[in-house]
Structure 1
């Protein structure tokens, strides 16, 4: 079962494959950040890193 490494919420395998890192690890999800942050790379690097660029 995939889960967000930030908040522990369930994420689907598809979400992890698309938005996660090379190991399908997700560091932010829709339960703990916004869709805009996820599209900016927040699921890979964490929500704080996506907005810091």
Structure 2
């Protein structure tokens, strides 16, 4: 099934508008800061299986 490029663009435009409406920060600096926080985040250690 082929995707309609016009629908993708309008969905993208709707997403951008909603992001603006909720006050999302669009700056590259804000993006980089969030990315750094995610990259530094430690993954939780796997839980030990309590069999036995």
Structure holding more helix per residue: 2
TM-score of the pair, normalised by structure 1: 0.18
* Structure with bigger gyration radius: 2
TM-score of the pair, normalised by structure 2: 0.18
